[in-house]
Structure 1
Amino acid sequence: MSKQLKSDIVLTGVTMVWGATFIIVKNAIQTLPVYNFLFIRFLLAFSLLAIIFYKKLKTIDKKTLAVASVIGTMLFLGYAFQTMGLKYTTASKSGFITGFSVVLVPILEAVLLKRKPSKPAILGIVLAFIGLILLTTNIDLSINIGDFLTLLCAFAFGMQIVLIAKYASTLDTYLLATIQIGVVAVLSGIVSLIFEKPFIPTSLDVWSAIIITGVFATAFAYVAQNTMQAYTTATHTALIFALEPVFAAIAAFLIAGEVMSFRAIIGGIFMFAGIVLSELPEKEVSK
């Protein structure tokens, strides 16, 4: 099996896990404060990775620590905005809007990595923006606060994808992922202490959500992403991540019975088409 194929399979598995956890997180934060939840989730993930990679952590250098801290801050902002947004919007809509980060990747690459977006990428951005409007606005064109917060999360996640693409091939990806997760845990804990009344949950359902998201959607997922992006491009990674809103909508329907409106479904189709088109090679589109 080639490294590219292995990368595709692993990243698709990661995307499926992320999509499925939207509804799990939404249910958990009905009981546990948002940043309290994030703190316990990421602390669990960091503790697990620290035990596994403790020998590597002893040899970490300043560059890896600095880069991982910046990426970890982007990851924190992404999850903070996403989790807070889930309080005010549906899991399926959150999944689709989070998918908009895939369209933002070519723009961020142009600014940060000096790579201009292709014509298909520009057209894809336009289609995705139309879909975003259909998906997130009401008849009076007002935007739900949850949708806006989730859009900010999409920007942060887009930054995280591009930064990993820039550094994954030159730094230890296991350390990169572990420190990122640790930064999210620390920032979540600080914010929780300031704005919330954190507590240790006693509900079995909440702990199930913490374990599922902490182990599979955090520890496993981010080590896999950081490692696999060393063998592929940000564009290819972004295309695979475009499947996340599809998995989110399916999980929301199967677990919670959430049904999107016709207008939202059309918006989602526009968005997904824009996401996929934005990542196609220019020559394929011109045929």
Structure 2
Amino acid sequence: MSVSTAGAERERSVTVARSATRRGRLNLLALVSLIAVTVVWGGTFVVVKDVTRQASPMDFLAVRFLIATAVLAALRPRRGLKLSRRQLGHGVLLGLALGVAYIGQTYGQQHTSASMSGFITGLSVVFTPVIAGLFLRYRIGPATWCAVVIATAGLGVMSLRGFAIGPGESLTLLCALFFALHIVALSEWSTARDAHALTVVQLGVVGVLCLALGAPDGITVPMDWGFWIPVIGLAVVATAAAYLMQTWAQARLPASVAAIILTLEPVFAGVFGVLVDHDELTGRIIIGGALVVGAMYLAEFRSGATSSKA
């Protein structure tokens, strides 16, 4: 082998190594970003509970998502114009899936307990790999399936004190199914480059859908800062920023891994409930939380999921 050929081979090896290192760092950043999203969403439970005492859930959701859409659109007003018709259609479908999930959860919560709602919503972790396998022909490894079982067990330990199927549970099950569809489609359709525009479209669709459903009874919200300050905070941080981070992160993570990471949300909700709302720290919360964290570790690190997007 000539000196020039050997030099070219070394240069290619260095380039490949640097590219792999950069991919690994971006995948790790995506993982950390998605965990940060679950921290934010876990912290919103206490805030949302207070806000929805002042306005109907549908009116609150419409205001929250429309403000979030306006904030993101104002930050990069020309970004959405670069979406192709196909990408725009993807954004609309993502928004519809997300909107149906939120509406199912909102109405379901009126007919079931908060703990039951949290558990059934968390079943999206089970639906996600099933949907990815059936519709996208993704191969789900045994480590991921094991993680799904462990995460579901953890959610059950934290939440369940009996199980019955009624209207509330059925609506919440529909919510979990559509959350799973959203997770799978987001991992399939999102790219880091189009994350901002795609987020604007899907949040806008949710806002318009909730506005349309709330309009027949009139959109009525309090006109005092005690309502608007937390709503604006929820719209900017827990909706605009959080969904932008989720859309970007899922461009790099497999849907099944993302679903397992997102089960950390009720864990952080329990933590914030103890710290802020003075809930009792029970053994169920500790054991259930440990199982969910263990499931995330198994799915992410044992299966080597960060190495590539499924």
Report the TM-score, using the length of structure 1 for normalisation.
0.83
One-letter code of the match for 1:29?
A: T
1:272/1:149 CA distance change after superposition, 3 Å = farther
Task: Tell me the equivalent position of 1:239.
Answer: 260
- Are the equivalent residues in 2 in contact too, given 1:168–1:229 (CA < 8 A)? yes
Task: Tell me the equivalent position of 1:39.
Answer: 62
Alignment of 1:196-235 (within 5 A): 196-235=217-256
How far apart, CA to CA, are the structure 2 residues paired with 1:236 and 1:130?
16
Query: Is 1:167 matched up with 2:200?
Result: no
Query: Is 1:154 matched up with 2:154?
Result: no
Structure 2 residue aligned with 1:105, among 99, 115, 128?
128
1:213/1:90 CA distance change after superposition, 3 Å = farther
One-letter code of the match for 1:239?
A: I
Task: Tell me the equivalent position of 1:74.
Answer: 97
Alignment of 1:106-145 (within 5 A): 106-127=129-150, 139=162, 141-143=163-165
1:283/1:255 CA distance change after superposition, 3 Å = closer
Report the TM-score, using the length of structure 2 for normalisation.
0.77
CA offset digits 1:134-184 (Å, max 9, x no partner) = 666655x42465454333322211111111111113872211110000000
One-letter code of the match for 2:269?
A: A
1:279/1:13 CA distance change after superposition, 3 Å = closer
Task: Tell me the equivalent position of 2:30.
Answer: 7
CA offset digits 1:88-129 (Å, max 9, x no partner) = 555565444433322322111102211133233444444555
How far apart, CA to CA, are the structure 2 residues paired with 1:44 and 1:153?
23
How far apart, CA to CA, are the structure 1 residues paired with 2:255 and 2:273?
28
- CA deviation after TM superposition for structure 1 residue 209, in Å: 2.7
Query: Is 1:17 matched up with 2:40?
Result: yes
How far apart, CA to CA, are the structure 2 residues paired with 1:199 and 1:266?
42
How far apart, CA to CA, are the structure 2 residues paired with 1:181 and 1:283?
32
CA offset digits 1:55-84 (Å, max 9, x no partner) = 122333211111000000111112222233
* Structure 2 gap ranges (5+): 1-21, 306-310
1:151/1:209 CA distance change after superposition, 3 Å = farther
SS of equivalent residue, structure 1 residue 257: coil
How far apart, CA to CA, are the structure 2 residues paired with 1:105 and 1:94?
18
SS of equivalent residue, structure 2 residue 126: helix
1:270/1:231 CA distance change after superposition, 3 Å = closer
SS of equivalent residue, structure 2 residue 78: helix
CA offset digits 1:237-268 (Å, max 9, x no partner) = 33332321111111222333344877787667
1:15/1:170 CA distance change after superposition, 3 Å = closer
Identity %: 33
- Are the equivalent residues in 2 in contact too, given 1:96–1:246 (CA < 8 A)? no
Structure 2 residue aligned with 1:253, among 267, 271, 274?
274
Query: Is 1:51 matched up with 2:74?
Result: yes
1:262/1:22 CA distance change after superposition, 3 Å = same
How far apart, CA to CA, are the structure 2 residues paired with 1:232 and 1:134?
27
Select the structure of larger CA radius of gyration.
2
One-letter code of the match for 2:242?
A: A
How far apart, CA to CA, are the structure 1 residues paired with 2:145 and 2:32?
27
How far apart, CA to CA, are the structure 2 residues paired with 1:81 and 1:247?
22
Structure 2 residue aligned with 1:176, among 198, 210, 221?
198
By relative contact order (CA 8 Å, sep 6+), the higher-ranking structure is 1
Task: Tell me the equivalent position of 1:185.
Answer: 207
SS of equivalent residue, structure 2 residue 250: helix
Give aligned pairs, total: 282
SS of equivalent residue, structure 1 residue 256: coil
- CA deviation after TM superposition for structure 1 residue 130, in Å: 5.3
One-letter code of the match for 1:251?
A: F
Moved more, 16-25 or 141-150: 141-150
One-letter code of the match for 1:208?
A: I
